[in-house]
Structure 1
């Protein structure tokens, strides 16, 4: 990218600090912009709630099959599959989700926005859930799980991006943390629903009803979506400026012609202009394109990889199996302890509501990985000693593991790709990141029963190593994005003075320098102000031309 590119940050000394737009005091007539009668923070909470129900479905789908892996009725109805085949039945969902995320990557331009893509994904989830519920053979069950997974792969790609593009920087992480707490509520519901059906009912209803419950959750999200706004950033990127102004005004509790709304729209348009110089096709996620596109996609992909290889989904998807087979509990106690774990998991997930926007993404990633690695090391020791007392100690350590996971890698990871990726690549790059999420969820869920059967306590050592290796990778390669406007993150990767492209190590160092980040924020405001003022001048000039042309035609 040349030095004349609008993306080249100016030097800190040359930057003139521009004041924020003054609050608009003009009078307005008519009703202010709103959706379902909501605006401002209440509307943001409504978007967060809808996203949260989508992630509640995500958590429910991760958890209910883990409970069924020890359900006698379910196992008998499907021929008592061995550990390897049982792992595949559970993991087939992740196979579908991986292909769903790939579909989103390839077809993102043809789905018409964040809301339509989300709706399509959830409809597919419902179709797959119906096929699973009516299963009378293992082939039909697996096909249904793959189809439902395909739909959820689409939805989990879009939901975090939609939420991130609607929220304000200072509360983006907290909103995502609220959403991820609902994922855990989904795990809780799945564990206790399966437990209740197992202990209080007989016959295939024990497993058919928990599977059918997916339909209720997916249907709830579909019913909410028509009443909520589309992403203003998406609308601006496809030239729907009037709709973008209206949606942003409703989300920010303003009016479409307010200066504060106009400034934010101009900041978005400036970032789009920077990206559009060289970005244009699906293959751009594999190229630099003047915005370090491939580097940013690779970091987002790796964040999903490291989250899964932490071992968290060993417990989310196979909790009862681990407590029964690895630790040695009875089936009944394994179900109870696994259900209790999800309640504890939820309580731990409340911690990021406070920390995620205060501590910063990088520090939380590293703290979480250090804690999880230590917990996995202790679990290996306790399971290896193999006494009743150390078995319960291992269970306690796996509880503590989830505190470190929620602190470092739960909501923090899900918001990070949406903050890191440029607008033009956000959906495609986010889709590839979710491919990583589901691909390695599949890997972990597939191999865990086999690992436990064959190498026992050493299974935990594998996850310990992955957690410890993550720490230096985050330190050297993960830029800080917390509380940064999405457009500021774009400019962190832009050319420096003289057209020099910064290496990722330099970007990471600059991202934690408050003065450097402030200079970029000032540059963004200056360019937004310039666009705003010049657009008014251009509009006046056009109006004068039209007036003169009209006068000449009357002569």
Structure 2
């Protein structure tokens, strides 16, 4: 550990002359470097899902694979493919609970370890049944990873860049899919069982790599503060958002905002039960579930799992079908890049609606072309599938996974994400199981089903989904009208001050409520946070830097202080707050520098896993020697 004074203008944060900030750096991974490294590394969790998803799509057309497993029928292939979704469906419920109990980081560790076991079984499988069992275990791992990784990502990402990191994470998933296709294609030149066994071994090694990496990444600050690990939470916040400067005002305010949200949820009776989730946050949950439901029913896994079969049906045979799938995967990866820059500027809704149309229309065209079955069919089907696939990567792919983790409140985030993820896997299972059977039985008509789903999803987004771009996780109640609030701005100046620390927060005060400007003749009204979000012109900038902790009578005339009582949102309840008996609201203060330094010192003095193991072996050796001498 190194504790050094920061420069006067270190990292763009102005500092006072009367004291020097302290930076505590355990490694060079702090600030943006830590955030980017962590985001990229945890994205390996969804990379593995993409890899396993694409791996089988090519292997099931491999002649040596089919010969080794005695020419499995379409139903057996459908079960083997879709059983992964069954494992993921059930484990997604467990993952939510485990994520709440032991943390996001350890849950990713458990998921990656289970993935390693499933991948090893698949590599060694002598029968299609054992291969399916390995896929089932791999599905359990995928359920853990796809439930927790998006939550982890959203909880560490800044509000203004959360969409960027979520879409970049999805790009990692599609890179995994593309990599598996090209790995399959490369090994397909071996004229033996090596052509399909080698990709399975590559999958196993990547699982090992992710498991080892979970000992490096940090826990999310929101989980730490929600479980009262305040010292560690403050250190992680400083490392991620202030280059390790534990006295940085932005880091302190981020701590206050997160901790305030935690305490408000407790006061409001955040029971963390599924019943509470359904009753209190029904709209949020429906948006989260619909986002992942449509992302599957719109036909993406009809393409992802069975693209080589589709291309074979259109006239591309054998290795040509895998090659065309590989070309499709490259375009798929490229299509996921524009949302990095558009999701936080255009917003979530426009991308989803555009994606729905650009998926549905090509799928209708592909079905009609297969119905005609003329000389243009092969080219038309390939083009239509590539466009539909790219439209999904541009829209529903990343945003579908972003919505559950960003719109659900902290007390029930894991449970809500588990339900949304379970919806995804149930839909995925239906698509994976039914697709080869439908392609075999009704052929071109199969494409009409996802195409129609795309059109339905367009109107569902238009009418049901609110826009959430730019909001912090604690601000989501302002657009769903289901969260109570307190009047609280954590800034470092008096009313009307223009301190840089206040500005740097980008108005993080998540559940704040303001009063609109009023004339003398206007009736007194109170504006909720939801109303303010929909009509920003009514905000009062002179209140932006109100300090919680001082008496409100020093800032606003006594005649109007009664209007500062918390206002119930449509479904909110803050009956436990009796503001008439509260004169001063206490500031939520982060841990002091001394407490943080003592904590870091204690952590440094803890023996490492290797040293503990060495000491245990040394102690056992000494005991054995002593027993031998006594004999």
| Normalised TM-score (structure 1) | 0.84
Counterpart in the other structure of 1:259? 249
How far apart in 1 are the matches of 2:350 and 2:163?
14
How far apart in 1 are the matches of 2:390 and 2:529?
27
Moved over 6 A (4+): 516-519, 521-525, 527-533, 536-539
How far apart in 1 are the matches of 2:543 and 2:140?
42
1:165-203 C-alpha deviation (Å, 9 max, x unpaired):
11111111111222211211111111111122222241x
- 3-state SS in 2 of match to 1:287: helix
Counterpart in the other structure of 1:268? 258
Return closer, same or farther for 1:226/1:106 CA change in 2, 3 Å cut-off: closer
- 3-state SS in 2 of match to 1:226: coil
Return closer, same or farther for 1:285/1:101 CA change in 2, 3 Å cut-off: farther
Cα drift, residue 258 of structure 1: 2.5
Return closer, same or farther for 1:256/1:84 CA change in 2, 3 Å cut-off: same
How far apart in 2 are the matches of 1:62 and 1:516?
48
Return closer, same or farther for 1:509/1:267 CA change in 2, 3 Å cut-off: closer
User: In the alignment, which of 313, 321, 334 is matched to residue 347 of structure 1?
Assistant: 334
1:513 aligns with 2:534: yes
Counterpart in the other structure of 2:34? 43
How far apart in 2 are the matches of 1:23 and 1:405?
44
1:94-121 C-alpha deviation (Å, 9 max, x unpaired):
11111221221344433x1110000000
User: In the alignment, which of 75, 78, 82 is matched to residue 84 of structure 1?
Assistant: 75
Counterpart in the other structure of 1:234? 223
How far apart in 2 are the matches of 1:517 and 1:231?
35
Counterpart in the other structure of 1:303? 291
User: In the alignment, which of 191, 205, 209 is matched to residue 220 of structure 1?
Assistant: 209
User: In the alignment, which of 119, 131, 134 is matched to residue 109 of structure 2?
Assistant: 119
Cα drift, residue 33 of structure 1: 3.8
How far apart in 2 are the matches of 1:212 and 1:221?
15
1:47-99 C-alpha deviation (Å, 9 max, x unpaired):
11102222221110110011111111111211211112211111111111112
Counterpart in the other structure of 2:146? 156
User: As a proportion of its length, which structure holds more helix?
Assistant: 1
Return closer, same or farther for 1:514/1:369 CA change in 2, 3 Å cut-off: farther
1:534 aligns with 2:587: yes
1:139 aligns with 2:129: yes
1:313 aligns with 2:301: yes
Q: Please, which moves more after superposition, 143-152 or 179-188?
A: 179-188
How far apart in 1 are the matches of 2:438 and 2:542?
53
How far apart in 1 are the matches of 2:425 and 2:61?
23
How far apart in 2 are the matches of 1:537 and 1:81?
61
- What residue ranges of structure 2 are gaps of 5+ in the alignment? 1-11, 486-527, 551-583, 593-631
- What residue ranges of structure 1 are gaps of 5+ in the alignment? 1-20, 498-506, 540-555
Return closer, same or farther for 1:529/1:47 CA change in 2, 3 Å cut-off: farther
1:466-517 C-alpha deviation (Å, 9 max, x unpaired):
00001121122111111111111134333689xxxxxxxxx99969725189
- 3-state SS in 2 of match to 1:200: coil
Q: Please, which moves more after superposition, 417-426 or 259-268?
A: 259-268
Return closer, same or farther for 1:399/1:535 CA change in 2, 3 Å cut-off: closer
Q: Could you tell me whether the CA contact under 8 Å between 1:35 and 1:228 is conserved in 2?
A: no
| Normalised TM-score (structure 2) | 0.75
1:386 aligns with 2:407: no
User: In the alignment, which of 182, 185, 193 is matched to residue 195 of structure 1?
Assistant: 185
Return closer, same or farther for 1:35/1:382 CA change in 2, 3 Å cut-off: farther
Which of these two proteins has the greater Rg computed from alpha carbons? 2
How far apart in 2 are the matches of 1:517 and 1:250?
36
Counterpart in the other structure of 2:507? none
Return closer, same or farther for 1:375/1:334 CA change in 2, 3 Å cut-off: same
User: In the alignment, which of 454, 458, 473 is matched to residue 460 of structure 2?
Assistant: 473
User: In the alignment, which of 388, 402, 405 is matched to residue 392 of structure 2?
Assistant: 405
Q: Could you tell me whether the CA contact under 8 Å between 2:91 and 2:140 is conserved in 1?
A: yes
How far apart in 2 are the matches of 1:193 and 1:330?
18
Cα drift, residue 527 of structure 1: 7.7
Counterpart in the other structure of 1:282? 273
1:52 aligns with 2:43: yes
Return closer, same or farther for 1:199/1:483 CA change in 2, 3 Å cut-off: same
Cα drift, residue 22 of structure 1: 8.0
Return closer, same or farther for 1:285/1:129 CA change in 2, 3 Å cut-off: farther
